[in-house]
Each structure stands twice: as structure tokens, then as C-alpha cells.
């Protein structure tokens, strides 16, 4: 009887979210309209360069290759019907989880690049064991390493309530903690505080017994007050051109988006604001598992003018080796930081005297804005404690002030 009551309450809560937030996704509706009228409007039909995670394409000659590349990224979206989460027993993250989903997409891209290579392409028939290990890690079940449960409840352990709106800095800090429990991924995450990459801190994170642990470098930035300062756009474009790019966690005001490339003056993004059912890819042997795998892939990116981006974002890079990190530093100094003044961010050998150490700090110095009223290798993993697609328009968020790594609260 209690189980039935719990299920009924979960369905009621899900209905409340649906009624409050209305129909889904700007991306899904835009693509749907485009498909209904002919060819999708994802890539402009003109002779121009398109950059996707460090790769350059021609918009006309390589259109299908661009789409294959975008489709090979993991598309993490709102889900409904997962096991109840938090004290309020949420069974959907619709309306609050889009920044968490963008964090998943950046991390998934780092793992795909690290373990499968940047030239790897996904197909509906793919049953590659390494790919399955990666996608299984993002399924929304309690024992998956990077499920919505693990991310949300890791935040809860640090006084970030389940369902609370987070910014890119906070999500990066959560992922930094979670990745430590995943030995197979063999990845370290360093979050550069105060718009400064401190080399001593990076080396401390990645050098273990004389060897280098692959690094996902996340640099949270604040590039304006309410609007992005246009002087930073050339540097952001150059970041997306670098071969180590894992994209950017950011969004437009009030909505989190995963930026993975650009064309001319428009940034390309994957939008998490589509609500899909919860399921399992598992080993992808059953037809239902094959179908569910396809919900993690979106062939058509959407476009947004750089000027419409929220000024709170995080640029992300993967350095597989020590040499690749040193090469990235050289490119930063010669090709990125010289493009604007003040520079996009700073590089320092040592930490400033008055900074807290990385071990003393769990969360960014600037708090979130307070808004008004599996697979076999992961079966034993359980940090958290017990406690179909449709389309999602609005999410709430806002911008702070100053060029520093504070956050917009976006969902």
C-alpha cells in the first residue's frame, strides 16, 4: 500500500512539473518545424567554415560529416520516470536539471575522446564495449557513476538541495568529486578558480608517481554583467578551434546549453531541454536497449549568436598527456590570451598568498544566486544514500556582476 502511495505521489509531482513548465524544448520544436518544412536549419547553406570541437569543416561540402560528428556526442537531456530522488521524491529533472545535463555532456565528451579518440563516430548499430561502458555511466540509475542521482545528491551533501538551480562552476566542482570514484575512466578534473589556471595545482592533480593522469581542465569565467562582452568572442571562438576542446558549459540567460562549436558569429549547441523517458542501454542486445541508446544522440545542433550567450560559462579542455598540456599552455599564451584585453583568463605558476588551498575549498567563493519563492564495472558503486520524448521552454536564471567566476543560476 505504501509503495502504491509513493508511486502515485511521484506521478502527481511529475504532473505538477509538466503543468508548471509547459511544453518542452526550443531545439526539438525548431528541428521539428524545420523537418516539417523541408531541410533542418542546423547548419547555414553557404560556403563557410564550421568548427566542431577542434575540427574544421566546410558547411556545404561536408554537411553530412558535420552532422555525423555532432550525432556522435552524447546528448544528455531531461528524463522522466527514474527512481525517486531526494526528500521530495522527484522522478524527473525537468525544470531544474539542465545545467547538470550540460556537465554530463562535457564529461562524456572527455571520456569519448580519451577512450575512443576524437575521430570515432557513433552509429545506431554500435556495440563497442568501451562506448557502452561510457554511456552506462550516465544512465539515470543510482549505481551509475554520473547519473542525475549521483550528481544531484553529491551536491546535496554540500548543502545544495536536490532541485536547486546550479551554475557551471558548481557543477564542475561536483564532477571533480565524482570522477575520483571512477578508476576505469582514468581522469582527473581541475577547476581553475578566479579565472586563473594555477600550474602548481594542475601538476599536483595530474602527476601521480611520475606519470601523468589525463586532465579535464574546466575554466569558469564571467565575461560581462548581464550580457557577454563582445571583446571576448574572438578568444571564445579560438578555444573551440583548439584540438583539445571539450566545448563549453554555459547557456543563454535562463537556460543551460552545451556549446560544442561555431559557424561565423553563431555558436553551435546541444540543448538538454527535451524530456525523454528513463531506461537502460546496458549491453545493447535487446531492441529496447538499442532504441534507448538512440535517445543519447542528436543529429542536428542548434545555433545562437555569441552576443546572446549568458556571460557566465566554463571553457573545457582535455589533455591526455603532459606534453599535450604543455602544448595547450603555449596555444593559450600565443593564440587565445592575446586576442583580448583584459585576457580571457590568466595563467600563474603558483597560487596567490591569500587564496584558500584546493583542499580547503569545496565550492566556489562566489555562491549561487538565491532565487525567490549498469555495467559490471559499476554494479558495486553506490555513493548516494536512499532517501519517449516530449519537448521545455523556460528555465530560470540570472546574471551577477563583474568578470569573475561567479555563476548564473540556470537549469
Q: How confident is the model at residue 21 (pLDDT cuts 50, 70, 90)?
A: very low
pLDDT at 77: 98
Q: Does the annotation mark 273 as catalytic?
A: yes
pLDDT at 38: 62
Q: Does the annotation mark 354 as catalytic?
A: no
3-state secondary structure (DSSP) of residue 408 = coil
Q: How confident is the model at residue 2 (pLDDT cuts 50, 70, 90)?
A: very low
pLDDT in tens, 150-184: 999 898 876 788 988 888 899 999 999 999 999 99
C-alpha to C-alpha distance for 167 and 103, rounded to whole angstroms? 10
Residue 332 gets which letter from DSSP? I
Q: Does the annotation mark 271 as catalytic?
A: yes
Q: Does 405 have pLDDT greater than 50?
A: no
pLDDT in tens, 230-268: 999 999 999 999 999 999 999 998 899 999 999 999 999
C-alpha to C-alpha distance for 129 and 131, rounded to whole angstroms? 5
pLDDT at 20: 42
C-alpha to C-alpha distance for 91 and 89, rounded to whole angstroms? 6
Q: Where are the domains of the chain?
A: 49-348
**Which one is catalytic: 273, 297, 316, 340?**
273
Q: Are 119 and 91 in contact (CB under 8 A)?
A: no
E strand or H helix that includes residue 261: strand 255-263
User: Which residue has cell 575521430?
Assistant: 119
Report the candidate in 198, 197, 259 with the shortest Cα–Cα distance to residue 228.
Answer: 259
| DSSP code string of 58-110 | ETTTTHHHHHHHHHTS-----EEEEEEETTTTEEE-TTT-HHHHHHHHHHHHH
Q: How confident is the model at residue 209 (pLDDT cuts 50, 70, 90)?
A: confident
User: Which residue has cell 571533480?
Assistant: 176
**Which one is catalytic: 271, 293, 310, 368?**
271
Give the CA distances from residue 265 to residues 200, 234, 236, in Å, rounded to whole numbers and listed in that order: 36, 10, 11
pLDDT in tens, 387-404: 444 445 445 433 333 454
Q: Which residues fall within 8 angstroms of residue 150, CB to CB, at 6 or more apart?
A: 142, 144, 178, 383, 384
**Which one is catalytic: 24, 80, 98, 246?**
98
Q: What is the pTM of this model?
A: 0.82
- Of the listed ranges 86-90, 190-194, 225-229, 283-287, the least confidently predicted one is 86-90
pLDDT at 363: 45
Residue 157 gets which letter from DSSP? T
Q: How confident is the model at residue 368 (pLDDT cuts 50, 70, 90)?
A: very low
Strand partners for 269: 259, 302
- Of the listed ranges 137-151, 178-192, 331-345, 348-362, the least confidently predicted one is 348-362
Amino acid at each position: 500500500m505504501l509503495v502504491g502511495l509513493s508511486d502515485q505521489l511521484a506521478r502527481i509531482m511529475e504532473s505538477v512539473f509538466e503543468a508548471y513548465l509547459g511544453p518542452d524544448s526550443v531545439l526539438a520544436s525548431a528541428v521539428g518545424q524545420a523537418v516539417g518544412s523541408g531541410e533542418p536549419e542546423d547548419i547555414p547553406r553557404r560556403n563557410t567554415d564550421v568548427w566542431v570541437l577542434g575540427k574544421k569543416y566546410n558547411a556545404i561540402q561536408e554537411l553530412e560529416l558535420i552532422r555525423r560528428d555532432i550525432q556522435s556526442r552524447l546528448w544528455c537531456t531531461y528524463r522522466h520516470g527514474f527512481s525517486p530522488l531526494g526528500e521530495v521524491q522527484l522522478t524527473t529533472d525537468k525544470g531544474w536539471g539542465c545545467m547538470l545535463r550540460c556537465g554530463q555532456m562535457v564529461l562524456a565528451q572527455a571520456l569519448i575522446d580519451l577512450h575512443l579518440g576524437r575521430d570515432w563516430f557513433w552509429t545506431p548499430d554500435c556495440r563497442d564495449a568501451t562506448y557502452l561502458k561510457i554511456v552506462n555511466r550516465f544512465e539515470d540509475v543510482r549505481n551509475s557513476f554520473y547519473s542525475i542521482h549521483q550528481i544531484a545528491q553529491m551536491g546535496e551533501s554540500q548543502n545544495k538541495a536536490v532541485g536547486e538551480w546550479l551554475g557551471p562552476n558548481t557543477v564542475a566542482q561536483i564532477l571533480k568529486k565524482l570522477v575520483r570514484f571512477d578508476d576505469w575512466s582514468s581522469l582527473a578534473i581541475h577547476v581553475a578558480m578566479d579565472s586563473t589556471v594555477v600550474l602548481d595545482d594542475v601538476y599536483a592533480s595530474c602527476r601521480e608517481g611520475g606519470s601523468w593522469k589525463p586532465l579535464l581542465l574546466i575554466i569558469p569565467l564571467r565575461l560581462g554583467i548581464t550580457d557577454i562582452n563582445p571583446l571576448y568572442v574572438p578568444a571564445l571562438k579560438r578555444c573551440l578551434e583548439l584540438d583539445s576542446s571539450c566545448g563549453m558549459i554555459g547557456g543563454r540567460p535562463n537556460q543551460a546549453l552545451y556549446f560544442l562549436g561555431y559557424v561565423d558569429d553563431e555558436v553551435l549547441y546541444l540543448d538538454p531541454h527535451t524530456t525523454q523517458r528513463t531506461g537502460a542501454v546496458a549491453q545493447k542486445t535487446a531492441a529496447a536497449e538499442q532504441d534507448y541508446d538512440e535517445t543519447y544522440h542528436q543529429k542536428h545542433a542548434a545555433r545562437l549568436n555569441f552576443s546572446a550567450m549568458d556571460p557566465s560559462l566554463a571553457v573545457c579542455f582535455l589533455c591526455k598527456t603532459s606534453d599535450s598540456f604543455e602544448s595547450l599552455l603555449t596555444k593559450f599564451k600565443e593564440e587565445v590570451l592575446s586576442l583580448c584585453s583584459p585576457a580571457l583568463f590568466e595563467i600563474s605558476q603558483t597560487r596567490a598568498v591569500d587564496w584558500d588551498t584546493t583542499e580547503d575549498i569545496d565550492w566556489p567563493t562566489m555562491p549561487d544566486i538565491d532565487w525567490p519563492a549498469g555495467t559490471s564495472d559499476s554494479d558495486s558503486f553506490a555513493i548516494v544514500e536512499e532517501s519517449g520524448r516530449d519537448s521545455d521552454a523556460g528555465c530560470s536564471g540570472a546574471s551577477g556582476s563583474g568578470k569573475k567566476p561567479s555563476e548564473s543560476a540556470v537549469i
